Structure 1
Amino acid sequence: MSFSLPRRRDALAILAAATLPRPALANDLRVATVDWSVLETLIALGITPVAAPELLQFREVAVEPVIPAGVTDLGLRGTVNFELLLLSRPELIYSSSFYVSSEPRLTRIAPVERFSIYVPSRPPYEPAAAMMRAIGARLGRSDEAERYIAETEVEFAGLRERLKPHAARPVIPINLGDARHFRVFGADSMFGEVLKRLGLANAWTEATSYSAMAPVGIEALARIPDAWIALIPPVPPGALDVLAASTFWNALPSMRTGRVLQLASINPFGGLPAARRFARLLSEALLTERAHG
């Protein structure tokens, strides 16, 4: 096996990481991941990986679960730092279908196990639950996995009951690309799956690929006048200011009747923890609007 020596700043990062608390390993197995949905699943099961990518960005986009100290940041998800990964000494690396091209290099470091949650035209909730069960079984956390899945179902059932007064109106979950375009999440997205499990309809009924469609012109929102618009970060700088001054935007029925919800950031390609975060944030926003209305 041949790798170039780590750059000085990478070596310093490893030395700094060595002073932090050692990650809690499952079955004495050192686990790393290059995928965020796996990362949040591991942490939800009480397993701290030795290394994972883009941790600063994860904290901004996914927000939760909280990343414990001692996890080495591997840099960008698409181009992880293989030297840092090697120095983290993983005995198992978890990947996903998004990172198949990296697997030849990953397998030179440690065995790789891959999951495929997001597949065109296939809802991702059950695959995410299956991934949690598989990781739990592999790493001695089967009880924790079953408990988390059961708690998720209980939480959804409770929210579904509280949201019954909102069931008559559909919801369209979107990311703004700019002031004129958005990305919309369809039935094969985790957001779409959560809407269904909360007893809410997804206002976007057209086909999507890998969960979403983009770019979609803002004028498409006029075709769903009864919908709640759920704006999910990131929001491009200045986009909301431009929309606030837009005659078209302000004329939309959803805007005129106060049915635009600005949610906090959520990982759109996450696992069950992301699903629960979206369910909670959306429900809180809908229930707050109803209370004020």
Structure 2
Amino acid sequence: MLSFVARCCLSAACLLPLSNAHAQWATINWTIAETLLAIDAPLSGTAQKNGYHEWVGEPRIPDGVVDLGLRSQPNLELMAQSPPTQTFISPMFAGLTERLERIAPVTSFSPYSPGTNTWQEIQTLTRQLGELTGHRLQAAQLISETHTLMNTLRQQHPDAPPLLMVQFMDARHVRVFGDNSLYNAVLEQINLTNAWDRPTNAWGFSLSAIEALYDYPEATLVIVDPVPTGVEDALAKSGLWQHLPSVKNANLLRLPPAWSFGALPSGQRFARELVAALASQPRR
């Protein structure tokens, strides 16, 4: 006959897989959502699915995942119809914590904390989500695959001038990514140089007028999609834009979406797309 302790341990071991099998996780944060999808943790709901696919791109959200509405104002009634095991948020949505906790426990993550190493922080996020969801091996595999990819791309990429990485806010303003950004962290991993040397905010970007880009005439301009509606038409008519050295000299690249505030999946996508674009650029 099993001892009481042995029987308790056996019962716990039997229950854990059953519990994990039925666990579902929800998040209103796209960085967390892409990581959960990448480690195959069951995602029951996330916010603004169409926006996610426009700005994040991959991994794609399965059709069965519920769209919870706006990230800043999720549909709590919809979430309560099938409560998740736990809801994951970031400090940006801390004001929703009390209401979300009426439905399910809430855990907050802050991978873009001021004064931290972004590359280390997003790996920590991956491990933490792996622990909480019981997908430790998948999280470890994602980290390992990312290291392997970065090592490979570091060897493959052609020589390149310093890069200016931007996303358009409107026809006159861009976010330029520097210290503490995911894009800059990727450049460091694959041994490329970021031209932007000005202060950035906690998210790793400076909001700047297009005129500021004139100060970097030798840099390759990297534009990351999506570009807001109407901006391309406005730029085609803008003398300010047309006379920008990188535009006038066709020294620019355009990349598909990779979430600028993302984690390892977005880091992988940005790295792959950037190196591929550099390789296809005519040699000067």
- Report deviation, 1:244: 2.9
Partner of 2:6: none
Partner of 2:77: 83
Partner of 1:14: none
Aligned length: 266
| Matched-pair contact (CA < 8 Å) for 2:170–2:231 | yes
- Secondary structure of the 1:67 match is coil
Partner of 1:42: 36
- Alpha-carbon distance between aligned partners in 1 of 2:126 and 2:20, rounded to the nearest angstrom: 14
Task: Please report the RMSD computed on the Cα atoms of aligned residues, expressed in angstroms.
Answer: 1.7
Amino acid at match of 1:284: A
- Alpha-carbon distance between aligned partners in 1 of 2:115 and 2:282, rounded to the nearest angstrom: 33
After TM superposition, the structure 1 stretch with the greater mean CA deviation from structure 2, 231-240 or 185-194, is 231-240
Partner of 2:251: 259
Amino acid at match of 2:142: Y
Q: Which runs of 5+ in 1 are unaligned?
A: 1-24
Given the two structures, how large is their TM-score scaled by the length of structure 2? 0.88
| Matched-pair contact (CA < 8 Å) for 1:123–1:189 | no
After TM superposition, the structure 1 stretch with the greater mean CA deviation from structure 2, 136-145 or 75-84, is 136-145
- Report deviation, 1:28: 2.7
Partner of 1:191: 183
Partner of 1:132: 126
What aligned pairs does 1:241-280 form with structure 2 within 5 A after superposition?
241-280=233-272
Partner of 2:221: 229
- Alpha-carbon distance between aligned partners in 1 of 2:204 and 2:130, rounded to the nearest angstrom: 29
- Secondary structure of the 2:221 match is strand
- Secondary structure of the 1:117 match is coil
- Alpha-carbon distance between aligned partners in 2 of 1:96 and 1:70, rounded to the nearest angstrom: 24
Change (3 A) 1:54 1:197: same
Given the two structures, how large is their TM-score scaled by the length of structure 1? 0.85
- Alpha-carbon distance between aligned partners in 2 of 1:233 and 1:108, rounded to the nearest angstrom: 37
Q: Deviations 1:52-82 (Å, cap 9, x if unpaired)? A: 1111111121110011131111000011111
- Alpha-carbon distance between aligned partners in 2 of 1:233 and 1:94, rounded to the nearest angstrom: 26
Who wins on radius of gyration, i.e. which is larger? 2
